[in-house]
Amino acid sequence: MDQMIKKTLIYITFFVLILVTSLEFTGTTDYRSRLFASWQPCLPGGFASSTLSPIKVYMYDLPRRFNVGMLTHPGGNASSSDVDDNVAVTRENIPPWPARSGLNRQHSVEYWLMASLLYYNDTEEANGSGQEVVRVMDPDSAEAFFVPFFSSLSFNVHGNSMRDPQTEFDKQLQVDIVKFLRESKYWQRSSGRDHIIPVHHPNAFRFLHDDVKSAILIVSDFGRFTHLQANLSKDVVAPYDHVVDSYMNDDLSDPFDSRPTLLYFRGRIHRKDEGKVRGTLARVLNITEGVIFEEGRASGDGVQANDLVECLFLRYANVPISQFFLLFSYYSIRGMHSSKFCLNPAGDTPSSCRLFDAIVSHCVPVIVSDKLELPYEDELDYSEFSVFFSDEEASRPKYLVDKLRGISKEKWLGMWRQLKNISRHFEYQYPPKEDDAVNMIWRQISHKLPAVQLAEHRNRRLKIPDWWR
């Protein structure tokens, strides 16, 4: 009897396997896809999140001096007496980001996130597909809370000298924000875990990092934080806003041969901390055929650089500094557009805006930064369009250049095509668009919320917190 049962089970199993296989090959059904689709929302990368409902975010209504009030004057230089805090910021009256803001634009993610919430307002009609967030006006219905404090711009406007008394206004804004949050019942309810605070500039919120470390921080890297203040498990790495124009007409019949320069770099050579590798690279790559390695720096206060910029200063001495910045950018753009690879070493911290300038210029990034974390890395495989070297590898004579010369034309073209395909993920714009930088960041934030909810729910019932440690 047992033998018959075993045989029957074997026959049934065999029949089912034959049936499923035949359906698979004939295209009638795809059980693997259906099963995988049911697992997708649980995957670490959260790739299915864009098909789910937008996350509901409540934005605190802060006085304008904490955000757009700093955009009042050219260069974003407003004092507290210049700003009318009684005028609410709306979708209709939000000022545009200044066209001549110099390098302040690099860390402007705080502005674009705020603007997107004004645009994606739940009182308006649906804004179409690709929307990853909706602003809710009732905080009790929110999944997360956005703090619209422009901490990066505050540092650039009020604290850039890092000396008293100029930096006192930046410090006071931080003190006021922390006081405001501590008095909020919603901050108290979650200890700030479900609050989103942009601190993209390495020196943003520098006086009170510990007071906001429980929040979801929007960072450029983790170079100026301790692991307890910021880390990948709770925070979001956001791209810099590129300061060169995107390459819109990169449709040459032979893009490989149309870029005669092998490797291009223009930037500051002498940097602190992580950026010390730049000095080594300057020595290793000096006078190397096919390599352009030049020192040059542009800033909101002007441009200081090598012989090229000094020459430009002499030639265009009477040109306003904002136009001179555009002129300098033009030379950088031209260099990137005529190069196959663009060198992206660390700055004073592991990241640099140069990486994102290279991406939108479709110049294959060569990344030299041992401690760099990259935006959207659970969704993008940077090895498909970038080349990576450790500091030690890049410091070996001829090693980096020989590796680049060994990359075939076919492989380079594949990386170039991928750059063109993914560059839209690094565009900040208003109104926001599907899969642009803003919506990608909101999607990254949505990936952090399950852990936030888990911690919040556990804290409500545990009598002995973290007993398992």
Residue with token string 């810099």: 240
The whole-number pLDDT of residue 103 equals 80
- Report d(CA 286, CA 423) in Å as an integer: 31
Mean per-residue pLDDT for 68-91? 70
- Residue ranges of domains in the chain: 2-42, 54-241+444-451, 261-426
SS3 state at 61: coil
- Strands 236-237, 133-135: pairing kind: unpaired
Using a 10 angstrom Cβ sphere, with 0-12 exposed, 13-18 middle and 19 or more buried, the burial of residue 6 is: exposed
Mean pLDDT (the chain, rounded) = 83
Better-predicted residue by pLDDT, 74 or 243: 243
Better-predicted residue by pLDDT, 346 or 1: 346
261-426, which class in CATH? alpha beta
Residue with token string 């109104």: 431
CB proximity list for 76: less than 8 A, separation 6 or greater:
70, 98, 101, 104, 153, 156, 157
Residues 262, 290: contact at Cβ < 8 Å?
yes
Per-residue HEC secondary structure of 69-119 comes to: HHHCCCCCCCCHHHCCCCCCCCCCCCCCCCCCCHHHHHHCHHHHHHHHHHH
Mean per-residue pLDDT for 339-367? 95
- Report d(CA 328, CA 294) in Å as an integer: 13
- Return the bridge partners of 345, or none: 368
The whole-number pLDDT of residue 464 equals 78
Residues 351, 225: contact at Cβ < 8 Å?
no
Q: Angle of helix 321-337 relative to helix 307-315, nearest 10 degrees? A: 130
Nearest residue to 241 via CA among 157, 326, 351? 351
**Does residue 355 surpass a pLDDT of 80?**
yes
List, as one string, the DSSP characters of 271-301. -SGGGGHHHHHHHHHTT-TTEEEEEEEEETT
- What's 121's DSSP letter? B
The whole-number pLDDT of residue 32 equals 33
Mean per-residue pLDDT for 30-36? 34
Mean per-residue pLDDT for 201-219? 97
List, as one string, the DSSP characters of 211-227. GGTTSEEEES-STTS-T
Q: Angle of helix 109-119 relative to helix 437-461, nearest 10 degrees? A: 80
Mean per-residue pLDDT for 167-194? 96
The whole-number pLDDT of residue 4 equals 59
- Report d(CA 361, CA 249) in Å as an integer: 10
The whole-number pLDDT of residue 187 equals 97
Residue with token string 């602003």: 135
Mean per-residue pLDDT for 433-459? 93
User: First CA to last CA across the chain, in angstroms?
Assistant: 54
- Report d(CA 222, CA 231) in Å as an integer: 7
Mean pLDDT check: name the lowest of 259-268, 298-307, 459-468: 298-307
- Return the bridge partners of 299, or none: 302
The whole-number pLDDT of residue 432 equals 95
**Does residue 42 surpass a pLDDT of 50?**
no
- Report d(CA 79, CA 70) in Å as an integer: 8
The whole-number pLDDT of residue 128 equals 58
Share of the chain above pLDDT 70, in %: 75
SS3 state at 133: strand
Residue with token string 């295209």: 27
The whole-number pLDDT of residue 20 equals 44
Mean pLDDT check: name the lowest of 63-72, 194-203, 317-326: 317-326
**Does residue 339 surpass a pLDDT of 90?**
yes
Phi, psi of 179 (to 5 degrees): -65, -45
Residue with token string 């190397």: 288
SS3 state at 337: helix
The whole-number pLDDT of residue 86 equals 79
Enter the tokens of residue 266.
């223009």
Mean per-residue pLDDT for 102-116? 94
The Cα angle at residue 297 between residues 294 and 302, in degrees rounded to 5 = 145
Identity of the residue numbered 84: D
Condensed to tens digits (0 to 9), the pLDDT of residues 112-167 reads 999 999 999 865 544 556 899 999 999 999 999 999 999 999 999 988 777 777 78
The sign of the CA dihedral 195, 196, 202, 207 is: negative
- What's 73's DSSP letter? S
